[in-house]
Amino acid sequence: MDIRPSPIAGTWYPGTAEQLATSIDHLLEGETKTEPNSDLVGVIVPHAGHRYSGSVAGAAFRLMRGLTPDIVAVVSPMHNLAPGQVLTSGHDAYQTPLGEIPVDQEAVRKLSDAMQKRTGFALYPLRNDREHSLEIELPFLQRALGTFQLLPVMILDQRESTAEALGLALGETLAGRKTLLVASSDLSHFFPDAVARTFDAEMMRRVERFDPAAVMRAEEEKTASACGRAAIAAVLWAARALGADRVSIMGYANSGEVTGDKSSVVGYGSAAIWRTSSA
């Protein structure tokens, strides 16, 4: 199997299986706040090093414990220059210290075809990428779910039209399967604590309103920001296509709470996306 090795194990998160499992299990501890008569469709989680944003991410990922999805789609931004507009892995599997996660190649092909039809471009398969924002979520999924198939997506083109097309294409690709969606995004970057909290609260309000178009507009309106706004919006559009009908906020913090430096912080928020159960 052609495996993508981890470029961030041992730096962004612990580098040994035992240390990583212990760390993630600690972050997954706590009360699970479920929505009555609801099924979990997906989560929105931050992607800083686990030391900084792990507790906020854990507040959402703990909702997945005990679930048995066929496939998990993780949608993240692409922070580095790369060919293509929307990318996927060119490897057969991802690797973390907790083991290998196979990429669902059939789902990749279906999503790529759906994007080609909607936008005129297919997913670009990238090899040996160093993107942290997708991989950082994988150990949480491994400890919460065990084994699963992965559909990895990284967005370089952050236009609203591309995010919406991706969301609808994901909904089409994943329809009929036991699916979980993960949107990977931090919030505002490098503002003083008070300013960051104002901006981040506005972004989380738009997320909670289940309004992907408003998430995309926030940057140009200069009212809020998120480095993975297209990932958030795409997952919201996909979740709606899969029958989701509401969002609940699970956690918030910023880097100043860890470093003690409130003069320039990065914001972290998490949320859960729900569908009213047929029961």
Structural domain count, the chain = 1
pLDDT value of residue 278: 65
The per-residue pLDDT for 30 is: 85
Residues 200-229 have pLDDT tens digits of: 999 999 999 999 999 999 999 999 999 999
| Domain encompassing residue 22 | 3-276
Instruction: State the number of CA atoms in the 13 A half-sphere of 148 facing the CB.
Output: 28
Residue ranges of the chain with pLDDT lower than 70?
A: 278-279
Q: How far apart are CA 24 and CA 51, in angstroms?
A: 11
Q: What was the pLDDT predicted at 279?
A: 44
Say how far apart CA 16 and CA 20 lie, in whole Å: 6
Q: What is the CATH number of the domain that holds 23?
A: 3.40.830.10
Alpha carbons within 13 angstroms on the beta-carbon side of residue 102 total 10
Q: Which pLDDT belongs to residue 204?
A: 98
Question: Among residues of the chain, what percentage have pLDDT more than 70?
Answer: 99
